Structure 1
């Protein structure tokens, strides 16, 4: 099976929830794969934070994101879900985005109903497009894909703007338009979270666990019981890594050496294993004699 077929099978076999940690670069995606997670999520916020050092407010271009998508897909074998923001424009832009992400090796693309440029789903000041515009984008995305196992995830940010009922109604229209998975972003209570699969559960639903965000943190087992099929931890790893780097830099500044951290960093041998140095050496021996 190819990765799209694997993701399709994971999505539709049994009731187990799929846990997708977020990656903003290839080495993080490889760590996720090695840790045994079945799928990873390319986080738009993480890309903006790591590439620009700036917040997720729609500043990255399509090409900048696509390059990172290619690097990550090339580095791992597990299915990849990619944040496609708003499709980087209108329905015609969305067609190109879907085609290029699919060619890059993505198994599912997330598209959202914000205006371009968009903002992180847990920021204030978001704006959403008319529902008819998003419906047309979804139809265009469905038409653009080549492999029917490639999934279209339709996200709505309407909860913060028009209220919870409007968000559910939008998701219903997105399903009717052909979305394979829907994603009601930033529900604000456990009761709202429980309602999402109750109202939309015939279609797989996404939960987004954002630490210190608008949505309560709920353990994966409980999300599974609610009926969610996929849970994202989009920026947990990046935020944890940033804390570790802050601590390391403070230690270096105070101690004038890294010796105190020798037991807290990976060895050179482990870094070389993760970055496939032995495989590169074999290629050198084969083709550079």
Structure 2
């Protein structure tokens, strides 16, 4: 089954889909091994993996390249940050084409100007609603796989207010988007209102210490959300673990005990070493292969 079709099935299922944020092949594979059904490619995490802030500094090619590495590392559907589409509606056409080639199951496209800023920072600027809807129409018309999911994200809440954000997302849904994403509702009441006022399935973005208050995933499902992404969860965990290990080395002059305390072979097993070892045996011993 294509990952796009699987993503559609999950979104139509009885439970809200939870997609933890990944930023490379390691985190993508760990999400799969932890038993989740989908992963989200965080734009902020991808930028951080280049040593950069989430200021719209990466190109479409760099973002899609990261998505391709992640889809190759796991079998789960990958939802990716498509930023602004990297230009006008013509650039959106190419963004959708390249993400489909990379094996991405869906992307979200937002209504900020380029270069964009993280949705939970100040200083964002918006394009017109007419220009934004044109981008969504372009994305919908371009996809070859009808199951490829187009998510319409509006950052208008922090710039022009809650009502304007809902208006923009609804216009995008009317233009053919599959899911509405009102970025950074700023109270529990606003979080609750999004699924009530948005005329389609809704995405909740759970950002630690961001503009949106923390919500229990069970409560989000009860409110009517169909998808929750947690972009920075693993990235911030890595920050803390790395800071602690580096400080321990500096203080104690010995290799710190890792949180994942295993030998070298067990570490490689997390990334398919047993399968690769079996392939080597197969190619070196044709008799063993014939006996299978």
Q: TM-score scaled by structure 1?
A: 0.95
Q: Which residue of 1 aligns with 2:12?
A: 12
Q: Which residue of 2 aligns with 1:267?
A: 263
Equivalents in 1 of 2:85, 2:58: separation in Å? Answer: 12
The verdict on how the C-alpha distance between 1:174 and 1:262 changes in structure 2, with shifts beyond 3 A counting, is closer
Deviation of the 1:2 alpha carbon: 1.6
Deviation of the 1:270 alpha carbon: 2.2
Question: In the TM superposition, what whole-angstrom CA distance separates every residue of 1:15-65 from its partner, at most 9, and x where no partner exists?
Answer: x111110000011011101111111000000000112x2210001111111
Equivalents in 1 of 2:76, 2:218: separation in Å? Answer: 22
SS at match of 2:123: coil
- 1:283 pairs with one of 279, 284, 287: 279
> C-alpha root-mean-square deviation of aligned residues, in Å?
1.4
Which residues of structure 1 form unaligned runs of 5+? none
Equivalents in 2 of 1:59, 1:262: separation in Å? Answer: 33
Deviation of the 1:275 alpha carbon: 1.9
Question: In the TM superposition, what whole-angstrom CA distance separates every residue of 1:191-242 from its partner, at most 9, and x where no partner exists?
Answer: 1111110011x41101011111000000000000110110111011110111
Report whether the alignment pairs 1:248 with 2:245. Answer: yes
Deviation of the 1:83 alpha carbon: 0.4
Number of residues of Structure 1 aligned to a counterpart in Structure 2: 285
Q: Which residue of 2 aligns with 1:86?
A: 84
Question: In the TM superposition, what whole-angstrom CA distance separates every residue of 1:97-133 from its partner, at most 9, and x where no partner exists?
Answer: 1011011111111111100100000011000100000
Equivalents in 1 of 2:82, 2:122: separation in Å? Answer: 20
SS at match of 1:85: coil
Question: How do 1:105-120 and structure 2 match up within 5 A?
Answer: 105-120=103-118
The 8 Å contact of residues 29 and 271 in structure 2, kept in 1 or not, is answered as: no
Question: How do 1:95-174 and structure 2 match up within 5 A?
Answer: 95-174=93-172
Which residues of structure 2 form unaligned runs of 5+? 286-292
Q: Which residue of 1 aligns with 2:73?
A: 75
SS at match of 1:261: coil
Q: Which residue of 2 aligns with 1:198?
A: 196
